Structure 1
Amino acid sequence: MPAIGVVLFPNFQVMNLAPLTAFEIANLEVGHDFYAITFLSEVGGPIRTSIGMVIDTEPFAGRRFDTVIVVGALTVGPSAPGLIERLRETAATARRVAATCTGAFLLAEAGLLDGRRAATHWAHARELQRLHPSIKVDDDRIFIADGNVWTSAGMTAGIDLTLALVEDDLGATVSKGIAKKLVVYHRRTGGQSQFSALLELQPRSDRVQKVLAYAQSNLRNELSVDELAEAACLGPRQFSRIFREETGQSPAKAVENLRLDAARTMLEDGRHSLDTVAQETGFADRERMRRAFLRAFGQPPQVIRRNARHLNGSDAALAAVCD
């Protein structure tokens, strides 16, 4: 039975515990207690979260764990030296070490990320890089596995991380079943971006939100201003004005960003040819998609997919077929 030690500290953010549900449901999926979870802290006893909830913990006490997971907090500051020392000692005997969100700072303080690639919440990525220049911090990844050390972006990305850990142990079928029970997409690839075109737009009215949802569901269409205006039940001129007022972008620019978002996800998934990605996301052809990627990301689609494959350990033979 893989023992999982979850490292807590005062004022950690309670949402970091949500990803542990993947292990709980994994036990149900396989029909027995495959995982055993223990909450740890420097000296044991009650640990209060940032929202006031109290979690009972046990001391490290020299125990061995298959996987050690460090949680994160809303604010980042120096950790207790004793906690870092206990973490360092326990990680030395663990098969895997992981951190959700800003838990990467604790791994960094313990020297466990030196010379490795790491992810953390985008809002704290620069600070992690500044404090620990030996780490290769990527501020645009959902999660990264570098050797036996796994790190994830903020909050919900921890679910993608734990689903990936379960998949590593029990296979894709079990992981997919857990994702379905959690009512989430089957885990996002580690290389997927932390950012979303829809999140960036943030329209105020239901009418514009409806249009964006329509556009995202119909990317293969031309999605002209006339088509979008019809979806909004407005005239083209009035629609363009309202859309720009609410999103700060023209309809054409917003549609291109939605196409880029979808194309990048498909590329990082690694299962589709460039021609298929271009067609499915409405770019029509590879060259038009390439120009859009260079404008937005400064890199062509092939490079972005190659980088994602490198981060995720994808099969190189698949790339040769798709290219």
Structure 2
Amino acid sequence: MTRHRVALAVADQVPIYEAAVPCEVFGRPRPDIADPWHYDFRVCSADPGRTRTGGGFLVDTGYGLAELAAADTVIVPACADPRVPQPPGLVAAVRTAYEAGARIVSLCTGAFVLAEAGLLDGRRATTHWMHARTLATRYPAVTVDETALYVDEGDVLTSAGTAAGMDLCLHLVRLDLGAEIANLLARRLVTPPHRTGGQAQYVEAPVPARDDDSLAPLLDWALAHLHEPLTIADLARHEHLTPRTLIRRFRAATGTAPLRWLLTQRVQRARTLLESTSEPLGRIADECGLGSEANLRHHFTRLVGVEPTPYRRTFRARQSR
């Protein structure tokens, strides 16, 4: 089996977290999850050898930019300083990889490298909210979404800062290997298995003030009852709250509205069932609480970008390859 080549572009003073996340997600074999591991991971730099990160750590880069330009997926982590011009050699290698058919990914301010390479022109993209206006001003041909966790434009994907890089990397695993493998990997990494790209970068109260304020039990209960026609009144009743209080607390804790969160979870459940079972669409719609095959098609196509049946066919063809 030919493994999917993933190249991480490392430059001097690269922020350590954004460089470490792809190493953890793609660079470590996971024989208990998938054997052989799908990815052939390579750390690349303009001058192969030891590169110093922003935290003072030394990273061994055994590959140069030629290997990066020949990869199937290129990941550009955050740059040391988005205010200064990005390394021209790296910009050229990223452009060459894209023209050769590679999938190009940026984490945080790595979007500045993609923008400089011209890969974001006419596209929607995101970066850390602190630098979003700078990106939009410097590259007016880019439609910058300063609120999204990540943006998937097919062959070019961008993420917001820090933890959103993990979300995007898990999204890539989900695209390549399916929801079941991505969920197993997320569990191993002790991180949420799926946060949608459209979820807000920052919320009013990301960490509840007290343990008894946590909505985690409610979310777990809702996931266990997705097959039921849940309403805001049902959620509020389960938490012994008024609907208005439930909506306020839900948005403060998750950055989204209860019904939108429920719909996203229903579609993700459908995605998993399409990948792992041969159940008919009507049955999947029932199990996910979407009610009907037509409803499943409508919401799945709107959120995933493709209809359920072609999605199942494409995923299985990819698995066969």
Q: Give the alignment's TM-score, normalised by structure 1.
A: 0.68
CA distance in 2, matches of 1:49, 1:272: 37
**What is residue 25 of structure 2 aligned with on the other side?**
22
Structure 1 pair 31–88 and aligned structure 2 pair: CA distance change class (3 A): same
Q: 1:93 aligns with which of 94, 100, 104?
A: 100
1:1-323 counterparts in 2 under 5 A? Answer: 1-20=3-22, 21-24=24-27, 27-28=30-31, 29-57=33-61, 58-61=63-66, 63-73=69-79, 75-76=81-82, 77-199=84-206, 208-210=209-211, 212-213=213-214, 220=236, 221=239, 223=241, 257-261=248-252, 262=254, 263-264=256-257, 266-267=259-260, 270-271=263-264, 312-313=304-305
CA distance in 2, matches of 1:35, 1:176: 17
Q: Indicate the percent of aligned positions where both proteins have the same amino acid.
A: 32
Q: Aligned partner of 2:26: which letter?
A: F
Q: Aligned partner of 1:13: which letter?
A: P
Between the two proteins, the alignment pairs up a number of residues equal to 252
Q: CA deviation at 1:214?
A: 7.1
Q: CA deviation at 1:56?
A: 1.9
CA distance in 1, matches of 2:265, 2:177: 26
Structure 1 pair 256–169 and aligned structure 2 pair: CA distance change class (3 A): closer
Q: Which moved more, 1:102-111 or 1:261-270?
A: 261-270
CA distance in 2, matches of 1:96, 1:114: 16
Q: Aligned partner of 1:22: which letter?
A: V
Deviations 1:226-245 (A, max 9, x none): xxxxxxxxxxxxxxxxxxxx
Deviations 1:74-109 (A, max 9, x none): 631211222211221122214311011110110001
CA contact (8 A) 1:143 1:191 kept: yes
CA distance in 2, matches of 1:179, 1:118: 24
Q: Which moved more, 1:176-185 or 1:188-197?
A: 188-197
Q: Which moved more, 1:168-177 or 1:21-30?
A: 21-30
SS class of match (2:59): strand
Structure 1 pair 217–174 and aligned structure 2 pair: CA distance change class (3 A): closer
Q: Which moved more, 1:98-107 or 1:27-36?
A: 27-36
**What is residue 301 of structure 1 aligned with on the other side?**
none
Q: CA deviation at 1:270?
A: 2.6
Q: CA deviation at 1:134?
A: 0.8
Which of these two proteins has the greater Rg computed from alpha carbons? 1
Structure 1 pair 47–108 and aligned structure 2 pair: CA distance change class (3 A): same
Deviations 1:38-93 (A, max 9, x none): 11112322211111111122212265111000010463121122221122112221
Q: Which moved more, 1:141-150 or 1:37-46?
A: 37-46
- Structure 1: runs of 5 or more not aligned: 225-251, 274-305, 318-323
SS class of match (1:30): coil
- Structure 2: runs of 5 or more not aligned: 220-234, 267-297, 310-321
CA distance in 1, matches of 2:149, 2:158: 9
Deviations 1:240-294 (A, max 9, x none): xxxxxxxxxxxx9986532334553651563479xxxxxxxxxxxxxxxxxxxxx
